Chain A
Amino acid sequence: MGRYILKRVGLMLLTLWIIITLTFLLMHSIPGDPLANMARKLPEQIQQNYYQRYGLDKPVVVQYGIFMKNLITKGDLGESLVYPGRSVTETISKNSKVSGRLGIQALAMGVTIGITLGIIAALNRNRWPDFLVMFIAILGVSIPLFIIAALLQYFFTAKLELLPTTGWGKFKHTILPSIAMCFGSIATYARYMRSNVLEIVNQDYILTAKAKGVSEFNIIRKHIFRNAILPALTILGPQIAGIFTGAFVIERIFGIPGLGFYYINSINDRDYTMIIGTTVFFASLFIISQLVVDILYGVVDPRIRVSKNSR
């Protein structure tokens, strides 16, 4: 197991390095002046100052060296191009708390509700709870979340006036965004768990348990649930990815000052240092979370745990 984790971490660091390098080089290979958007009106002298300040007058390779050195030694991702004086690292760490809180809340909600609905659907196969859950799930996977978000806003704030449309700070501000964000997760999990449970129900070992005289409730609890929930961990990775992309849209719609909100802003402002920094941060977080999920899966499932031990 230790060797496996080591190998995976090594591979992860390699992937991370590739991403950072690629992002950096690609962003610097964009034709045209990175300051063009805002600096055009500035006099020559000030432009020169800008270039010096951001090191843009140096060759790309040198810039890359400085960037990597700062990143590794100080965790410093540079300074915003559009808002001079604003540190990219600080912006990320401040805003990611907001996004993190929302994301974790949404993920937890999505996974628990999704798993529960999936099991309910499978155990009531071809009866109305099944149809209802599958209907919700199908809507969840096929309706983009900005539409779901708009609908939620429309009904809960404009029509029923129960919850605030936008804003951040109190728990009530997180309710609608979390629901909108976790809709996709609920749908995916419900579908996945349903087909999982239906497959397990037909496994021979369920027959064995029945032949042993295990009660229906205990078959579900001890035999079906555990076996169905373990593989569900494997799709946690894509769910985390979904939460990330969800953040871009949801934070904008609900006016939440999170990382996604600033990311989209920096894209629209063509704030390249912000884009590089945030992309690297998102990608790292994403890759690390995938790794954690994989390792977690190895720890929980005895079949994988042992096969890795014996290697």
Chain B
Amino acid sequence: MSSILEVKDLKVSFKTYAGEVKAVRGVSFDLKKGETLAIVGESGCGKTVTAKAILRLLKEPPAIIKEGSQIIFNGENVLKMNKKRLQHFRGGDISMIFQDPMTSLNPTMTIGNQIAESLIIHKKIKKKQAINEAIRLLEIVNIPNAKERIKSYPHQLSGGMRQRVMIAIALSCSPKILIADEPTTALDVTIQAQIIELLNELKREFNTSVVIVTHDLGVVANFADRVQVMYAGHVIETGNKYEIFYESKHPYTWALLNSVPRLDIECKAELHPLKGTPPDLILPLEGCPFASRCEYAMEICLEKKPEETSITDSHRVSCWLQDPRAPKVERPINLGGTTNE
């Protein structure tokens, strides 16, 4: 399968009064047709910035996409697109769903008009046709009474409904890639499951590639094919879903997995929360970004950034523990804390 999107050495900084915040520090990945890639990590690790950078939605300034970064869609460099091409690219080729459906719809426009807007731009159809198409889209995303609802304003809908409308907008022009930035974070748990299910269905139906940004490993397990773990602006481990869940090699990934409660195993001990906070992205970073919080940190971790090691074709990790000179460390299987007893 060929790649539809390639990100190479993406570096994004923000200028602030305190200095330059290097939010994304050389991220590379690719996305294949029909594939779903999950970008996972704590708040502030750069995952949302990466997602927004793909659509060039970051405000420049204060954001700066560094020289040498490349984002290639179907062989075309997104960073070199002109205004007109970019407008067509956004929404037409690639579209995005945001975290908070409460604020991501225009409060003074009916949802019908908001869906139609996108159709009128990209499909070049008349307003009337567009509204009919919008009704059809609302039905696809399972909004009851679509004909009535089309005249509603966003505040008249619940959070879940609004996110469905967002999905309808995003899929209206059958984009090749859908980027979902924490699409379920702001929703109730029961609604979360519905939205993920809907996305799953639509992804298959439209054969869309998806990049989903999340910190919810449950969503990843249900939805993603491949996972990319980010920490302090770096991709520290990437692999397919099974490799990450069962064969992960990076202590941060372990910590992330161990911080999720498991009900399938008899549990006697407490959860294992990850201690400490991520590094300040304004400060210069030497060595491995995770070293200060890592249980297995070695002296070299504080001095030199680890190189990427390939475990399999799809599984890569950046950690000094992969060095043959390092002590052998096994993932502490957190079976309800049995390792400690």
Interface positions of A (Cβ within 8 A of B): 203-205, 207-216, 222-223, 226-227, 230, 301-303, 306
Contact = CB atoms under 8 A, between A and B. Distances in A.
B107 A211 contact: no
Contact of B117 (A203, A214, A302): A214
Contacts of A205: 103-107
Given A204-B98, A213-B122, A215-B87, A230 B155 contact: no
Contact of B107 (A213, A214, A215, A302): A302
Contact of B153 (A203, A208, A215, A306): A306
B108 A208 contact: no
Nearest to B170: A211
Contacts of B83: 216
Nearest to A229: B108
A16 to B, nearest CB: 33
B100 A211 contact: no
A212 B108 contact: no
B121 A207 contact: no
Interface of B: 55, 57, 83, 87-92, 95-96, 98, 100, 103-109, 117-118, 121-122, 153, 155-156, 166, 169-170
B169 to A, nearest CB: 6
A303 B57 contact: no
Nearest to B90: A213
Contacts of B169: 208, 212
A121 B90 CA distance: 27
Given A214-B121, A302-B153, A209 B106 contact: yes
Contacts of A230: 108
B100 A204 contact: yes
A244 B69 CA distance: 59
25 contacts: A203-B103, A207-B98, A207-B104, A208-B96, A208-B98, A208-B105, A208-B106, A208-B166, A208-B169, A210-B90, A211-B55, A211-B170, A212-B118, A213-B118, A213-B121, A213-B122, A214-B91, A214-B118, A215-B87, A223-B106, A227-B106, A227-B107, A301-B108, A302-B107, A302-B153
B152 to A, nearest CB: 9
A42 B321 CA distance: 110
Nearest to B172: A212
B119 to A, nearest CB: 10
B56 to A, nearest CB: 9
Given A210-B57, A213-B118, A302 B91 contact: no
Contacts of A203: 103
Contacts of B55: 210-211
